[in-house]
Amino acid sequence: MRISCARAWRSIISSEAIFGMIGTSGGLGLYIYTNRAYGNLTKVMVGIILIILISVVIDKLFVALEKLTVKKWGMSYEKK
Confidence at residue 21, expressed as pLDDT on a 0 to 100 scale: 66
Q: Residue 66 and residue 50: Cα distance in Å, rounded? A: 24
Query: Where along the chain do its domains lie?
Result: 2-72
For residues 40 and 14, the model is more confident at: 40
Confidence at residue 40, expressed as pLDDT on a 0 to 100 scale: 93
pLDDT single digits (tens) 46-61: 988 998 898 889 889 8
Q: What's the whole-model pTM score?
A: 0.69
On average, the pLDDT of the chain sits at 81
Residues 6+ apart with CB under 8 A from 34: 20
